[in-house]
Amino acid sequence: MNILLCCASGMSTSLLVSRMEQAAQEKGVKAKIWAVSADEVNNHLKDADVLLVGPQIRYKLPQLKKAADQQGIPVDVINPADYGRVDGKKVLEFALNLI
Amino acid sequence: MSKHREPIKTSLNRKESILRKLKELGTNREISAGELADLLKLDRANVSRLLNQLWREGKVSKRTGRPVLFTAAGGEHPLPGRATLDRLLGRDGSLKNVVHQGRAALLYPPHGMHILLLGETGVGKSMLAECLHRYAIEVKKLADDAPFVIFNCADYTNNPQLLLGQLFGVHQGAFTGAREQKGMVEKAHGGILFLDEVHRLPAEGQEMLFTLIDKGIFRRLGESETERNAQVLLIAATTEDPDSGLLRTFKRRIPMVIRIPPLRERSVEERYQLVLHFFKEEAIRLGKEIRVSPNTIRALLHYPCLNNIGQLKTDIQLTCAKVYADFVSAKKERIQIHSSDLPTDAKEGLLLSKGSQKTVDLHDSLYLFHPRQAEILFAVAPEDPSPSIYKKIEKRYSELKSRGLQEEELHSLMAIDIENYFTQYFKRMNRKLGKGNLAKMVHPDMIQLTEEIVRYAEAKLNTKLSKKVMQGLALHIQTSIQRIENGKTIINPQLNHVRRMYKEEFGVALDCIKTIEEKTGVDIPIDEAGFLTMFFVLDDIDAEETEENVHILVISHGNGGATAMAEVTRELLGTESPVAIDMPLHMDPREIYELTKSHLKKHASQKGVLLMVDMGSLMAFGEMLEGELGVPIETIPMVSTPHVLEATRKSILGYSLEQLVEDIKQLTLFESNPPLKNGGNKENMRAIVTVCSSGHGDPCAIQKVLTKNLRFDPAGLEIIPLEIADRKELERKLLHLKQSRPIVCIVSDFSLRMDLWQFHPDEVISLNAIERIQHLIDTEEAYDKMADTLQHHLLHADPSQVVPDVKTCFEKLQQRLKISVPTKDLIGVVLHACCMVDRLLAGDSSVIFKNKEKYIRSHPSLYTTTRNVLSTLENAYRIQLSDDEICYMMSFFDSSKRTTP
C-alpha cells in the first residue's frame, strides 16, 4: 500500500516517514511511504492509497480533500500528539484505519 | 566656536549677500569660500559655514575637492554626477583610464581627436559621450552652444538608403520624391556627433564616414559636385569585439580607443556608489523621499547584472516605479523599498552576497534619499524596539496629567521619569554600540557635529564627558532632527525644572542648540536644550551597570577552573560575559565571599544574578548575597562548561533568571537544589479550569472526576476550580489567567465568547468528554516533550536548545501578530521549524515556496514581522532564512487562514 504524507515543504514529515517505515517493517506491512510538499501533492495523488496531512497545514485540508476525493482516496490530518512525538507506529495505524 | 557667533539675524543677511554674490558671478563660475570671503570682506569661517547652509538648502552647488568650490545653483537642480568628467563615478577607480583618455582626446589640438568607445551593452557609452561633450564646453574646446547629436546606426539597418540620408543629408532629387534635407553630420557642425552601434553602418556609409574623418568633407546623398565641410568631433561607439574586421579599419582611422569596463570588472564600492546615485536620481525625479532597505542595496550590489550599469539603472527605476505606484494608490504610506520589491533577478543578489568576498560596509538602517538634500541620510530603523524619548515623555505626561496631579507633583514625578529614562537610554546605547557601531547608525555629519558639541561642553563645563555621552548624544540628536523634520513637536515638560536645577549646563545646552541649528538648518525648540542638559548632567551614572541580561558569575575551586570555563564560553559565543572567580584551595571562603560581593555590587544586573558554582561553601553564597545585595540570585551547583555555555547563551537571548534556572536544570536533570522559592513555579503550568455556577454540583466535583479519569503529568497541568456566578467576571478572570499560563480547556455551563476549548459539566460527569480532553492533554504534553522526541532525529542542532528557542520565537511571533495558534497546529509548526534549523545547519537551503513574490507582496506586514521575529533564530544559529522558508512560516501564521477551534 502507498501512503503519501504532506507537510509544508515535505521536509519535516520525512522524519515521520522513516519512523513509519520502521513500524511497517516491524508489523510486516509492505508499504511505500513518502513525503511531499503541499504544492506537489497533486502530482503524487495518483500513486497514493491514502493521504496524511501534517497538522501545521490543517488549513489546507479542504483544498486537499477536494483533490483527494477526485482520486477517490481518503485523507485526514495526522493526530498532533502523534505527529509531535513522531510516533510512526500510531500514524501508520491511523493510515491503515483510513483505508 | 561661540567666539564667532553673531546674532542669527545678521547671519541671515550675510547668507543673502553671499547668495547674491554667487548669482552675480553666474552659474559657471566656481569659487572657494576663501575667495568669496575676500570678495565680501567677511570672515572665511563664517562664509564657509553659511555656504554649507546654503548648499544644504539647495541654493548653491558644491564640488568637493581642495578647496571646495561653490556655485549658485541653477534654477533646476541638476542631476548630480552628470555634468563633468570629474563627477563621473569611479573616476579615481576603474574609470581612471577612461577619464584620462577622454580628456586627452578632447584637448588634443587643434579640434580634439575622434574617439572610438568600446564596451558591452549598458556600460555607459552614451553617458560618457554626453559627459565628454559637457567637458569640452567647460574647457572651452567647444562653444557654449555646441551641438551634441546622437545617431544610432542600428535604427535604420533595414534601409541603408534612409540611414545614409539621415546621417549625411539628402540632395533634392537624389531619389524619387527626395527633398533637400540636412543630415546629422551637418547638424553636429561645431560640436560632437555620437554614432552609436557604429558597426551597423553599411559599407557605403563607412566609406563616407572615413572621408569625413580623413578630410573633414562629405556629400549629401545625390550630390556629386558640391563638397561640404563639417567641423565635427566623432564619438563612435560599439559593443563589437574590437578585433573584428570592421573595427580594425575603424581603429586605424580612429586611434583613440577608449574601453569602458563592464560592471563586473568594477569594484563593489563603485557599484555601491552607482546604486546610491541611481536611487538619488529617482528621488529627484519623483520629487519624493525614497527609503531603501539595506538588503535591497545588498541585493543590487551582488546580482549578476548582465547588461551592466544600464540594467542596474533600469532595475532601480523599475523598482522605484513599482513602489511609487503602490504609494500613489495609497497601498503604502511612503516610498519604502524592500528587497522583496526588486525584480526577481536582482533579488538573487541577496543570496549571492553571502558568498561574495567583495563587500561594502552597509548601514544597518534604512537609506533615505531625499530629492533636495544632496547627501544620503540614514533613517533609524523603523522597528527600533526602544521608543524614542519624546514618545515616552509625551505618553507619560498625558498619563500623569489625566490622573489630575498637581503641577508641583507632576513635575517632580516627571523629573524622576526623565532621569530614569536617560539612565536606561545610556544603558541601551552602551549595549547597542558596544563595538564602534555608531557610524552604522548615525550619519557621519551627525557624529562630527556631536563631537563638536561635546568638545564645547567639555571646555565650558570644565569636565570630561565619557564616550557613552558622545554616542547617546549623537543618536539622540539624529532622532530629534528627524522628528522635527517630520513635523513632530518636541516637548520637555521639565524645561523649567531643568533650567533651575542645572543652570550652567542648561546655558551650555542652549549654545549647543544654536550650533546644531546652524549646522543643520533646522529650527530647534528650546525644549530640546532641556534634554541636552540631561546628557551633560547624567554622565556620572555607572555605565558598567549596563547589562540588562541576567549576570552570570562562575566560581569554582582550584586554580583556573572557573576561568577556563568562562573563557571557552566567551570565545565560543563571542561575548564579554560570563565572569569567573577562581578559588584556590588555600583561600578562605570568606575572602572569596567578599570578592564575589564586591564584584556583584558593581556588576549585578536588575534582572538578577546566576551563580554557577562547583561545590561546598560556594553553594551557600547565593542566599547570603541575595540578602545583602538585594538582587535576585540563583545558584546552579556542579557547574560544567556546557552549563555555562547554555546559561550564557540564554541570558544573551534575554531569558529571565527563573527561565534560566529551569532550563539549566533540565539540561542536567540535577534536582539537588530544592526547587524554587514560593512553593514552586506555577507560571508555566497548564490549566484546566472548571467553573460551576448554578446547581450542577460544585466545581470540585468536576475536578475530581477529571483527576480520576485523565492521564496527565501533575507537574505540568493543574486543574483549577473556580466559583463564579457571572459570565463577564469569568471571562475577565480567564483572560487574566490566559496571559500567564496556557489553558487547555474549560469546563463550564456558561456560553463563553472566548477562543478556548469548552466542555459542559454534564459531558464531563457522564465521561463523554474525557476522551476529547485526554486528547488535548496528550497534544500539550507532546508539545512539552518535543525536545526528547527529536533527540535522535536532528543531526546538526541540539533539540534541547532548538526546541525552546523555536518555541520562544513563535510565542513572540504570535504576540506580535496578535493571534493564537492552537497547540495542536503549533506542534507541527515547531517540528517544521526545528527541522528547518537542522537542515540549514547542514547547509541544505533547497526549499522552494511557489509564487513567493506574490505571496510576500500580498502580505507585507506579515512578512516583515515574521522576518523580524525569526531573525533571533538566524542570529542564534548563524543561519540565513531564505524568503521561501519565511513564506512557509508565514503560511502557518497567516491569520486569514486560521479558524477558531
Residue of B nearest to A58 (CA): B825
Determine the pLDDT at residue B896. 58
Residue of A nearest to B898 (CA): A59
Comparing A75-79, B99-103, B485-489, B621-625, which segment has the lowest mean pLDDT?
Answer: B485-489
**Amino acid code (one letter) for B888:** Y
A7 is catalytic: yes
Contacts of B824 in chain A (CB under 8 A): 55, 58, 80-81
Confidence bin at B389 (pLDDT 50/70/90): low
Phi then psi for residue B790, to 5 deg, are: -80, -5
One domain for residues B230 and B254: yes
pLDDT score of B235 more than 90: yes
In a domain, B343, yes or no: yes
Number of A to B CB contacts under 8 A, please give it.
89
Comparing B178-182, B626-630, B680-684, B827-831, which segment has the lowest mean pLDDT?
Answer: B680-684
Predicted complex ipTM: 0.76
- CA–CA separation, A95 and A5 (whole Å): 10
In a domain, B641, yes or no: yes
Boundary-marking domain end, from B502, B526, B543: B543
One domain for residues B298 and B233: no
pLDDT in tens, B366-385: 788 887 766 655 544 333 33
Confidence bin at B191 (pLDDT 50/70/90): very high
One domain for residues B643 and B765: no
Residue A8 has its nearest CB partner, among B826, B839, B891, at B891
In this structure, what CATH number is given to the domain that contains residue B178? 3.40.50.300
One domain for residues B222 and B192: yes
In a domain, B452, yes or no: yes
Residue B835 has its nearest CB partner, among A15, A79, A85, at A15
Tell me the three cell numbers of residue B666. 533540565
| Cβ atoms within 10 Å of B361's Cβ, excluding its own | 8
One domain for residues B235 and B131: yes
- CA–CA separation, B179 and B800 (whole Å): 88
Domain range for B719: 686-783
pLDDT score of B280 more than 60: yes
One domain for residues B66 and B106: no
- CA–CA separation, B266 and B90 (whole Å): 8
- CA–CA separation, B887 and A6 (whole Å): 17
In a domain, B368, yes or no: no
- Considering the candidates A5, A7, A53, A78, report the single residue annotated as catalytic: A7
Q: Mutation test of the interface with chain B: which of A56, A76, A91, choosing the one with the most B Cβ atoms within 10 A?
A: A56
Residues B673, B635: contact at Cβ < 8 Å?
A: yes
In a domain, B676, yes or no: no
pLDDT in tens, B555-605: 988 888 888 888 887 777 667 788 898 888 888 888 888 888 888 888 777
> What percentage of residues in chain B have a pLDDT greater than 70?
79
One domain for residues B128 and B145: yes
One domain for residues B809 and B885: yes
pLDDT score of B83 more than 50: no
pLDDT score of B193 more than 90: yes
> Which is higher by pLDDT, B241 or B678?
B241
Nearest to B663 by CA among B814, B801, B477, B864: B801
Residues A78, A52: contact at Cβ < 8 Å?
A: yes
Tell me the three cell numbers of residue B43. 570672515
Determine the pLDDT at residue B75. 45
Instruction: Say how many CA atoms lie within 13 Å of B280 toward its Cβ.
Output: 18
Q: What is the DSSP letter of B190?
A: T
Torsion of CA B95, B98, B101, B102, to 10 degrees: -110
- CA–CA separation, B790 and B808 (whole Å): 17
In a domain, B728, yes or no: yes
Residue B827 has its nearest CB partner, among A8, A11, A55, at A55
DSSP-based three-state secondary structure for B599:
helix
pLDDT in tens, B763-784: 887 888 888 888 888 887 877 7
One domain for residues B139 and B217: yes
List the domains of chain A with CATH numbers: 2-98 (3.40.50.2300)
Nearest to B208 by CA among B179, B165, B150: B165
User: Is the Cβ pair A81, B793 closer than 8 Å?
Assistant: no
User: Is the Cβ pair B847, A9 closer than 8 Å?
Assistant: yes
- A56 CB near a chain B CB, below 8 Å? yes
- CA–CA separation, B615 and B592 (whole Å): 14
- B641 CB near a chain A CB, below 8 Å? no
Confidence bin at B241 (pLDDT 50/70/90): confident
Determine the pLDDT at residue B153. 87
In this structure, what CATH number is given to the domain that contains residue B534? 1.10.1790.10
One domain for residues B706 and B855: no
**Amino acid code (one letter) for B228:** R
pLDDT score of B11 more than 70: no
Contacts of A82 in chain B (CB under 8 A): 782
pLDDT in tens, B40-75: 777 777 788 788 777 777 677 776 666 677 777 654
Q: Residue B191: left if φ>0, alpha if ψ -120 to 50, beta else—which one?
A: beta
One domain for residues B343 and B409: no
In this structure, what CATH number is given to the domain that contains residue B274? 1.10.8
> Which is higher by pLDDT, B868 or B433?
B868
Determine the pLDDT at residue B396. 65
One domain for residues B525 and B551: no
In a domain, B362, yes or no: no
> Which is higher by pLDDT, B4 or B112?
B112
Q: What is the DSSP letter of B376?
A: P
Q: What is the mean pLDDT of residues B492-516?
A: 81
Nearest to B730 by CA among B685, B784, B693, B684: B693
Boundary-marking domain end, from B261, B281, B301: B261
User: Is the Cβ pair A39, B778 closer than 8 Å?
Assistant: no
- A47 CB near a chain B CB, below 8 Å? no
Which range, B230-244, B410-424, B440-454, is most confident?
A: B230-244
Residues 6+ apart with CB under 8 A from B669: none
pLDDT in tens, B787-831: 777 777 777 888 888 888 888 888 888 888 877 777 777 888 888
In this structure, what CATH number is given to the domain that contains residue B570? 3.40.50.510
Boundary-marking domain end, from B730, B760, B783: B783
pLDDT score of B672 more than 50: no
Q: What is the mean pLDDT of residues B258-269?
A: 86
Domain count across chain B: 7
pLDDT score of B358 more than 70: no
pLDDT score of A75 more than 70: yes
Q: Residue B752: left if φ>0, alpha if ψ -120 to 50, beta else—which one?
A: beta
Q: What is the mean pLDDT of residues B477-506?
A: 75
Tell me the three cell numbers of residue B479. 532622532
Tell me the three cell numbers of residue B684. 508555566
Determine the pLDDT at residue B397. 67
Residues B280, B369: contact at Cβ < 8 Å?
A: yes
One-character DSSP codes across B358-375: ------SS-EEE-SS-SS
User: Is the Cβ pair A84, B888 closer than 8 Å?
Assistant: no
Distance of CA B220 to the CA centre of its chain: 60
User: Is the Cβ pair A11, B831 closer than 8 Å?
Assistant: no
Q: Report the mean per-residue pLDDT for chain B.
A: 77
Determine the pLDDT at residue B82. 39
Name the B residues in 777-806 with CB < 8 Å from any A CB.
778-779, 781-783, 785-786, 789-790, 793
Q: What is the mean pLDDT of residues B843-864?
A: 84
> What percentage of residues in chain B have a pLDDT greater than 90?
3
In a domain, B480, yes or no: yes
> Which is higher by pLDDT, B152 or B79?
B152
Confidence bin at B77 (pLDDT 50/70/90): very low
Stated pTM of the model: 0.36
Comparing A47-56, B85-94, B422-431, B456-465, which segment has the lowest mean pLDDT?
Answer: B422-431
User: Is the Cβ pair A84, B783 closer than 8 Å?
Assistant: yes
Residue of B nearest to A88 (CA): B789
User: Is the Cβ pair B897, A59 closer than 8 Å?
Assistant: yes
> Which is higher by pLDDT, B144 or B58?
B144
Phi then psi for residue A94, to 5 deg, are: -55, -45
- CA–CA separation, B741 and B686 (whole Å): 6
